[in-house]
Every structure is written in structure tokens, then in C-alpha cells.
Chains A and B, each alone.
Chain A
Amino acid sequence: MSSSKKRTIFFILSLLIVTAMLVNACGGGESEPAAAEAPAEEEAAPAAAEADAEEDAEEAMAEVDLSPTEYPEPQLIVGSREVEKLPLDQILTYKALDSYNEPEWVSELVAEGVLPPVEERLPVEPRVILESGMSDGIGVYGGVWRDFSACPTEGYNRGAGQSAGWFGIEAAAYASLLKSGPIYRRSDSLEPLPYLAKSWEWSEDGYELTMSILEGAKWSDGHPFTTEDVLFSWEDMIVDPNVQSPKGASAWIFEDQMTQLEVIDDYTFKFVFPVAFPVQSLFQMDEGDFHISPAHILKPLHPKYNSEMDYVDFEAAMPPDKTPVVLGEFVPVEYITDELMILRRNPYYWGVDEAGNQLPYLDEVVFEKGPSGVGRTLSTLAGSADHSNLENPSTFIETLKRAEEDDAHFYVEWGPETLGFSIKLNLSTTLGVKDDRDAAVRELFRDTRFRKAVSFALDREGISQSILRGPFLRGWAGGLFPGSSYFDRNTVAYYNHNPEASAALLADLGFEDTDGDGILNWPADRLASGENLVLALVTSEDAEETQTVGDAAVTLLGDLGVQINVRPLNSAARREMNEAGEWEMRVDRDSQTFAVPFTRCRELAPIEREFSFHREGSEPRELLDFEQELVDIALAFCIEPNTDIRRDLMAEYNRISTENVHFIGVFVGRYGLAAAKRFKNVPAGMPVFMYNWTWENVMPEQVWVAPEEQIEQLRPGVIPTYESE
């Protein structure tokens, strides 16, 4: 054979291979939609075909059971303990005790004249943690809590929006008027616990709330804490629009009127509200929302009182390399950028136990710094951290395997089912709509039949198992989390996996595969007439589970003839996309709104213009009927003081939300707590995330470690010190 012939054959062969690969690579259209009947014969009159299709759809609808199924009971999971719920008066009180104690090494500092005696450092009536509320009783001094933070420390001016590094640093160092974290322990009420504010009282008409704060409490530099600090934090931080406080003035506006704060004396002040009994406002006085800033430090630096300062300088007024003046149990005394933060006991902390021991029991907290949150779990597995929140299912089994080893220093405990993932459909008719197709997609999303079709398409148990085998995860209908105290299984309309029902609903909506390519086509009477039913689904690069849900949706909806284009985006791109409304479907990890609805009642329904998946653009929003019902319920819920009525309102909310498939729940699981075995007084069954995260829930001041189990402190004998002015 001549060389030219050989070359020709080689060329043809190569071409054939490349063509074959391309044909194979792109030939994914073999799957036939269950919804579609065989394409109508070309010769048949289109009208007749349409009529046939309608009849088929009606027949399919008549034959298929579209009713919801019963939502199952949760599986019992080993490693979950019941929370021991107590009335507040068995957890803590405020009273003067006969005598007070402190660690020996602190007494030595008192003897040296570095600190005043403990009686002088404590308030008149300190906050007393009662033994009846301690799972391991009164503790001993000493010990270290080693933890991990994956966020940079900007500074300590929290009231101006600066982050100290999260992961518990804020919880350890700062204090607020009230505390929501430990509500899960209360049997008497779902109100936040008193903290700096030791009591409060509503006026008869419900327009005024008078609060009393601790008398004689001191900042970590020994300066008295008074209502001047509260007033400064209110007027010059929260209300000042130039200060980026964690929760700004808008949270305190009711019926377009601003709440007022009036100081009565050094230890008493009152809120004057524009509406009666806005009880939900108590949740805006808790940790993270109403940050108490040190007026004696920050007031002289505030631009309102210091013409040489601007707001940028003011925000940076408490830099990370300078020991901050705080009110929390621990004070950051040393920070090595992106490496380590050391917090030492606050000698002025205003809490004691029943025996008069000044709290906290622990002397030191160390936060190792790292680039990502999973580092906390890895550090715990490796033995260099004492605590991790298990919030990423892909780490569950590995953590449990390590915990079962003989030399493991930590145990694992599972909380209630409040870790949920869902698919949201954009219900806005205008925001982000650019053409007829977009408009048609939004109209489709607003049709309950379509949302039900998507819900029926999802094999929730399969998705749960594909993320993590075992009993950790299970299907979720949407609405409230099963782990919420307001959850009632009987109020759930569960449209679980039923491809026939999904196909029948799609057919009823007029979708049919008219061109035989395996993808349904839009019906003639819709704006996107004739086009393939192609929908975009956004997942999160940062949350692997959202990608698994997205990939499963591609397969499960693809089987029904709905083409899903899935795209993972990073958090910044997702945020921009959400704000512009330029998204169709997205997979979310849901917030605690559905676990503790009362704390975030305005996020339950599209009350705010910026509501998560029905955002208002330049044109007014068109709420669906059931959305308006949800709004009405949520608004009533926000100001309802009676717990029983609140429960009824949430039952109704859950029924309407799930019956109308407001959003499509996919799966729900439990957060896990990995905590050092040597820690005592960690409340049984403590959730990692409920009203707040672990550090707020555990009440770290009461955690102690037996002397023989205490590990070496990095900075023994150190207390926070401040340069005298």
C-alpha cells in the first residue's frame, strides 16, 4: 500500500474516531420523558393533537393520586440526649451572696494590689448560676478551652460592625442585655434569658418596657457599667445611620415610627414603642443584635463628640492588636494575625456560682486561626481543638469513627433536626425578568401545580442517602424544621417522591414533548410557546450538599423531561444574583428562621421587600393569595405574647406553607456537637444551633475541667491589662 493511501486511511480513521466521540459525547437525549406521550403524528391536525393531549392529561390527572402523604416520625439516633428543661429560677438568679471566691492566682494579684478584692469587682447582686441547673455541679478553677476560628479578626468594635473572628470569640468576649442561646433549656417560657439586664417589665398598655441592669457591674478595665453605656450603644451606634451596627435602626421601626430609649437612672432605662407589646423585640436585645459598647472608651472617639474623628477611624477604634475593654467572660489578650488568639478570664466578670465562686471556671480560651471552617472539625479529630460544630454531613461518619476510638478526647452528640436544605423558586414577576421566556418561567413558578410537580419529582430519601448513608438525614417537606418546638407533624402536607404525579401535573400544565427530543416543550398558550422546558438551578460552591441536591435534581427532573442547567456559584456571586433577582431556582441551606421562628418572625413570609425568594424590584410585588395569608400569620405571630396562640399560628403557617409548597424542602438532618470529654457542665442535649450557636448555648462561664484533666495554659497568670491614660 502506498504511503499516500496509508495516510488517507489514517486520516479517515482519525476523523471517524473524533466524530464517534462527539456523537457519543453529545448523544444524551435517549431518555424519554415520563410525562410525554408519543409525539402526535405529523399528519394529524394540530388542534386535534392538542385536544388529545388535553384529554390525556385529564385522564392522567384522574388516575394519579395527587394527595400528600403522611410525614413520617423521625428515626431515633444514638447519641442524642433529651434536653433537661428547667424553669429559669432553677437555672440562674441575681442575688448577693455572703462571700465570694476567686482563683488563687487571682487572689495573689489582689494581694499585690494589681486588682481590687473580688467583692469590689462584683456587682451588688451578681448573676448566680444555680447548682440545680448544672449537669455536673459546682466546678473548680483552671483549665483551657482550645477552639478554632476560620474568620479574620478585624477588630473589637462590634457595635460598628467589626468582626472579632466569630466561631465563639464574640460569644466569649462580649455581653448583651439579654441572652437567647440558652432558651432551649427553659421549660417556663420561650423568652430570652436575663443577662446584663436582670429584669424587665411591660407597662399595662404594652407601649413601655422598663429594664433594670446589673448594679455595680464593671467593664474588664474596672470602669463601671451603667445606662450611659446602654444609651451610647443605642443613640450613637444602633440609631446612628453612619455606624454599621449589627442590627440597625430599621429593626426598631414599627408602623413607620421609631422606638425610643429613655434613661431613668444609672441602672434603669425604658423603651417606648409605637405599638403595644412588641414582644419579639426582646430578641433584638440579645447577643449579636444589641451590642453594648464601652461608652468611656468609644464616646471620646465617636465623630459626634470628636471633630477630629471620622466614621472610618471610629470603626477601627478598637484594633485587634490592642486588648479590648469588654463585658464577657473572657478577654482577648493576645492576637497573632491569622495564627492564634488567646483570651484570658475577665477578673471583672459579673457572674458567680451558688458557692460564691466568681465565674468563669476556665482560665484561658485559645482560638487557632485557619482558612476554612472544616479546619475546626479536622483540628478536633487531630486532638488540637476541644470543640467542633458538625454542620457538614460529609464529616459526620469520620468524626464518629474517631470519637469511637479508645484514645479519642471528644464525644459526639446530636441535636434536633434543624439542618435543612431546600429548593427555592423565584416567585417575583418582575425582578430580574428580561424577556418573555423569563416572564413565562416566573408565571410557571407561581403556579402551585408546578411547585408540586417539582416536589413530587424529588426522591428525598434517595438524596439523603446519596449525601450520607445512615439515619442522619431524611426527607423534609419545607415549612418549619421538624426539630422546631413549634413543629407539628400533622400540619405537614408532604408531596414526596411520586414521578407519576409529577408527570401528570406537568401534563396538566400543558407541557408535552412535541419535538421528540426527550425534553418537554412549553404549551402554545404560554409566552415561551414551543421552547424546551429548560430551567436554571444555582447551587453553592461553598456547600457541597447543595451541589449534590442540584445534581440529583438534574437527573430526577430530567427523567420527567425537565432540563435543569445546574451551576455552582460562590457566595459573592450568589448574593449579587439574589439582589438582582436574576435567578430561577436555587438550592439553599436554610436559616434558623424555620427552627426558632419567633426570633426571626419577619423572615417567615414576604413581609420585607427584600424577602429571600420573592424580592421586590422597582415595581410593586404581586403576592400570591397564600403568600398574603402567610404574611398575615407572621405579622400576628410577631406581636403575640401568648405562647399557646403563637403555637396555633405556627401550625396554621406550616399547613399553608407546605400545602402550597411555598418552597420545596429536600432533606433535613441534625447538627452534631463534638466536645471534649473533659468539659463538665455542658448541658445535656445542647443543640449546636438553635436560638444561637454552641458558644452562646453552653454558657461557657459554667464549664469546668477536673484538675487532673486540665491541660497546660499558654499564658498562665495573665490577666487583661490596659495602659493608663
Chain B
Amino acid sequence: MASSQNGASADTTLQSVDLEEEQHESYFQLVWQRFRKSRPAIAGGLMVLSLIILAIFAEFFAPVDPTDANLQDSFIPPTRIRLIDAEGNFHLRPFIYNQVVTIDPKTFEPLWEDDPEQRYDIQFMVKSWEWKILGLFPTRYHLFGVGEGGKIHLLGTEKQGRDLWGRACAAGRISLSLSLFATIVSIVVGAVVGIVSGYYGGVIDNVIQRFVEFVASFPQLPLWLALAAIIPRTWDSLQVFIIMVIIFSLLSWTLLAREVRGKVLAFRETDFILAAKEMGASDARIIFLHLFPNSISHIIVVLTLTIPQIILAEAFLSFLGIGIQEPLVSWGFLMRDAQNLQTLGTHTWIMTPVVFIIVAVLGFNFLGDGLRDAADPYSIV
């Protein structure tokens, strides 16, 4: 089947390509060959992969339990990792000093200082609090940590005294999975609607396209604000998460539907589709075995470019307080705490989760750009 698609998708025989080599390389191999030549795309892929790994194994990378709230430990600044101690001696093994707080007698500003009396070496693959790999297998191992009594917070702590680094890693679970699910649902809906609309044409196409316009013209922010008010009060954060996925996907499929329709309109009159029709292939067979696979490259590109949009949309809504709520945590939710004078003036580390959002958005955009360039491996550069 792959060869028929490939053969049909372009008149490759006209190109000066080594026919023998081409026969041994699938479409995806060609895409990969071209993709890996793009350094930004590889970098983007690695950025995304890093965030995914950090998200899945957040507890492994977190030396302190990110769900462990201690309100008395609120707003501790990031721990400084040292190699030189208070007396000026160099140590090969990195270490930290615990931080102690004093209050400025005039401004009441909390002043955090390292306490040289409380020194803790940083250890790798330490055993401390228990967590479950993939939520299933219990373990006590963590990538790094300090001995009992030591407090290491790479990005400081937030208002409930929870470790911000661990929370930012774990927040990727919601932010990434929400965007991924919402994108996948929107891709499925958009692709099916686009293909059906383009393939059947006529009245069906007309009706579907008007519906697409209707959905595309829906004002999203008022819809969110209305939803925030009417969501049943017994719904917990997970249910709100699911409804967010559904709404995001139902509002973001229209662009893809339009684009796929355009592609299918072009394919509809090509020889391989006409041939399939002549041979008596059913509509479903033509749609799912011919038209859909031929649009897949385009769909993948849209997928990678839609994800960052949804990450930003989720961050925006959670920042406004109408998205994810406690006890779930997303990057946008973490940023909600960064919108006051106190954060800008005193607790600047509360803004650090924005780096995760930037890395994710840049990563997916680089990846998407690379895929877009690589998706049509038969084009002449």
C-alpha cells in the first residue's frame, strides 16, 4: 500500500533520484533523513523530549516531595549550590547550606541567608521519600538530594512551601498531556471532517464548511468565562481538566479541517483515487486507506504546531484562574502566583516556571518547522 501511495503522491520518475535506493527507503525514512539534517528541529525534539521525561519522572528528578506542603516554609529562595565553602575552601563535591530567615526590622522584608553551620553535600541516586514509577512501582530513589535535615530547592518554594522545581516538572504532566490530548482529538475531528467535506463536495461540503465557519467564529474567552461559572460545583479538578481538553479540541479543529479539505479536493481528481473508484473501492476505503494517509504529513505538522498554541492557551486560562485548580498543577497555574507586586519585587523565583513554557513552545515550534520541511521529502530544496 505504501508503494502505491508513494507512487501516486508525485511523479517521482521525472526526478533525478536513484530509483534503486528509493525503493528501499520508506516515506518515513526519507522524512527522518531530512529531519535530522535540521539542527533546530533536532534541538526542538530534544527540548520536548526532556520536558516529557522530566514530567513523567518528576519525582525522580525532585529531591523534595513536590506535594509536601509546609506553609511555614513558604517563599524560600532557590538554594545556592556551592563548591567553595564559607572559609574559602574548594570542595570537589557540590554542597549546599541550609537557609535561615531574618526579618528586616524596618521593611519587614524576609532576608534569607545561608547558614554555614548547616552544610549538606549533594548526593546522587539518593534514597529518600517514596514515590511510584508511572504511578505503579514504588521506589525511594531520586537523582540527587541531600542528607536528612538539608533542604535543597533548585527553584525555591512557592506559597505553600512546596518545592517549585518538582512542581514545575510535575506541571508538565498536565500542560503537555492536556495539549497533546486536545490536539489529537482536534486532529481526528479536523481530519475526518476535512476529508469528508473535500471528498464528497457539493451540498455536504457546503453545509460542513458553513458549520466550520460557525465554530471558528465562536469567541473563546467569553465561552471560558461562562464555563467557569456554570461548571457543576462538585466537579473536581480532573473533570475540569477533561472538559478543558474537550473544549480546546472542539474549538481548534476547524483550521485543520479547512486545510485537509483543500488537500483532498486536489487529491480527489488524481489518477489513483479515480482508479480506486473504478475498481469499486468503497468511500470508507478511499478515505481511510488513500486520502487520510496522503494527508498525514500535513496533519503531523499541524499537530506539532497546535500543541504549543494549546499550551499557551492553557497557561493563559490558568493564569486568569479559570483553568486548572488545586490540587492539580500546570505551568499556567504556577504562573498564576506570579502576577503581583510581591513576586516582581521580592519573590522573583516564582516566575521561573515560565522557562518551562518557553522551552515547550519553542521546542514544539522548532520540531514543527523541522517536520514541515521534512514532511515532503520529494520536494527539491
**Contacts from A to B (Cβ < 8 Å):** 3-4, 6-7, 17-18, 20-28, 30-31, 78, 374, 377-378, 392, 394-398, 400-401, 403-404, 437, 459, 461-463, 465-472, 534, 536, 541, 544, 547-548, 550-552, 554-556, 558, 563, 565-570, 573, 582-584
Q: Is the CB of B233 within 8 A of A565?
A: yes
Q: In the assembly, what is the distance between CA of A707 and CA of B103, in Å?
A: 38
A536 to B, closest residue via Cβ: B233
Q: In the assembly, what is the distance between CA of A552 and CA of B342, in Å?
A: 19
Taking A17-B56, A462-B72 as known contacts, 5 extra A-B pairs with beta carbons closer than 8 A to each other, sorted by chain A number, are A20-B56, A21-B176, A22-B177, A398-B345, A541-B320
Which of B70, B241, B326 neighbours the largest number of chain A CB atoms within 10 Å of its CB? B326
Q: Is the CB of B342 within 8 A of A395?
A: yes
- Specify which of A28, A78, A395, A547 is in contact with B106 (CB 8 Å cutoff): A78
Q: Is the CB of A555 within 8 A of B173?
A: no
Q: In the assembly, what is the distance between CA of A377 and CA of B345, in Å?
A: 14
Interface residues of B in 333-371 (CB under 8 A from A): 336, 339-346
What are 27 pairs between A and B in contact, CB < 8 Å? A6-B28, A17-B52, A21-B56, A25-B174, A26-B238, A78-B105, A374-B341, A377-B341, A394-B341, A394-B342, A400-B107, A404-B106, A404-B107, A437-B234, A462-B74, A469-B101, A470-B110, A544-B340, A547-B321, A547-B336, A548-B159, A550-B326, A551-B159, A554-B327, A566-B325, A569-B228, A570-B225
Surface stretch bound by A, among B7-15, B37-45, B120-128, B130-138: B130-138
- Specify which of A30, A378, A465, A555 is in contact with B72 (CB 8 Å cutoff): A465
Q: Is the CB of B103 within 8 A of A469?
A: yes
Chain A residues whose CB sits within 8 angstroms of the CB of B339 once the complex forms:
544
Q: Is the CB of A565 within 8 A of B236?
A: yes
B55 contacts the other chain (Cβ, under 8 Å)?
Answer: yes
Q: In the assembly, what is the distance between CA of A558 and CA of B68, in Å?
A: 12
Which of A17, A27, A398, A469 neighbours the largest number of chain B CB atoms within 10 Å of its CB? A469
Chain B residues whose CB sits within 8 angstroms of the CB of A394 once the complex forms:
340-343
Interface residues of B in 179-210 (CB under 8 A from A): 180-181
Q: In the assembly, what is the distance between CA of A548 and CA of B337, in Å?
A: 9
* Given contact pairs A404-B106, A567-B231, A567-B325, A466 touches B236 in the complex (Cβ within 8 A): no
- Specify which of A26, A395, A547 is in contact with B341 (CB 8 Å cutoff): A395
Q: In the assembly, what is the distance between CA of A596 and CA of B231, in Å?
A: 38
Q: Is the CB of B176 within 8 A of A23?
A: no
**Contacts from B to A (Cβ < 8 Å):** 26, 28-29, 52, 55-56, 58, 67, 69-72, 74-75, 101, 103, 105-110, 132, 134-136, 159-161, 170, 173-174, 176-177, 180-181, 225, 228-229, 231, 233-238, 241, 320-322, 325-328, 336, 339-346
Chain B residues whose CB sits within 8 angstroms of the CB of A468 once the complex forms:
342
Q: Is the CB of A21 within 8 A of B55?
A: yes
Nearest CB on B from A506, distance (A): 19
Q: In the assembly, what is the distance between CA of A548 and CA of B106, in Å?
A: 26
Chain B residues whose CB sits within 8 angstroms of the CB of A534 once the complex forms:
234, 236
Chain B residues whose CB sits within 8 angstroms of the CB of A555 once the complex forms:
69, 160, 326-327
Q: In the assembly, what is the distance between CA of A401 and CA of B109, in Å?
A: 8
* Given contact pairs A565-B325, A573-B229, A536 touches B234 in the complex (Cβ within 8 A): yes
Nearest CB on A from B232, distance (A): 9
- Specify which of B161, B228, B235 is in contact with A466 (CB 8 Å cutoff): B161
Chain A residues whose CB sits within 8 angstroms of the CB of B26 once the complex forms:
3-4
Q: Is the CB of B160 within 8 A of A466?
A: yes
Q: In the assembly, what is the distance between CA of A462 and CA of B75, in Å?
A: 12
Nearest CB on B from A325, distance (A): 40
Q: In the assembly, what is the distance between CA of A550 and CA of B321, in Å?
A: 12
Nearest CB on B from A663, distance (A): 19
* Given contact pairs A3-B28, A569-B229, A465 touches B71 in the complex (Cβ within 8 A): yes
B49 to A, closest residue via Cβ: A17
Q: Is the CB of A21 within 8 A of B109?
A: no
Q: Is the CB of A397 within 8 A of B228?
A: no
Q: In the assembly, what is the distance between CA of A398 and CA of B26, in Å?
A: 62
Q: In the assembly, what is the distance between CA of A615 and CA of B107, in Å?
A: 43
Which of B106, B177, B235, B344 neighbours the largest number of chain A CB atoms within 10 Å of its CB? B177
Nearest CB on A from B341, distance (A): 5
B232 to A, closest residue via Cβ: A536
Q: Is the CB of B58 within 8 A of A24?
A: yes
Q: In the assembly, what is the distance between CA of A567 and CA of B328, in Å?
A: 13
B109 to A, closest residue via Cβ: A397
- Specify which of B101, B105, B134, B161 is in contact with A24 (CB 8 Å cutoff): B134
Q: In the assembly, what is the distance between CA of A722 and CA of B321, in Å?
A: 49
Q: In the assembly, what is the distance between CA of A555 and CA of B290, in Å?
A: 52
Which of B52, B327, B339 neighbours the largest number of chain A CB atoms within 10 Å of its CB? B327
Chain A residues whose CB sits within 8 angstroms of the CB of B344 once the complex forms:
398
Nearest CB on A from B257, distance (A): 23
Q: Is the CB of B233 within 8 A of A584?
A: yes
Nearest CB on B from A426, distance (A): 11
- Specify which of B109, B170, B236 is in contact with A400 (CB 8 Å cutoff): B109
Chain B residues whose CB sits within 8 angstroms of the CB of A378 once the complex forms:
341
Chain A residues whose CB sits within 8 angstroms of the CB of B173 once the complex forms:
21, 24-25
Q: Is the CB of B103 within 8 A of A471?
A: yes
Q: In the assembly, what is the distance between CA of A591 and CA of B209, in Å?
A: 54
Chain B residues whose CB sits within 8 angstroms of the CB of A466 once the complex forms:
71, 74-75, 159-161
Chain A residues whose CB sits within 8 angstroms of the CB of B174 once the complex forms:
25
* Given contact pairs A472-B108, A563-B236, A23 touches B341 in the complex (Cβ within 8 A): no
Nearest CB on B from A75, distance (A): 11
* Given contact pairs A536-B234, A567-B325, A21 touches B52 in the complex (Cβ within 8 A): yes
Q: Is the CB of B342 within 8 A of A21?
A: no
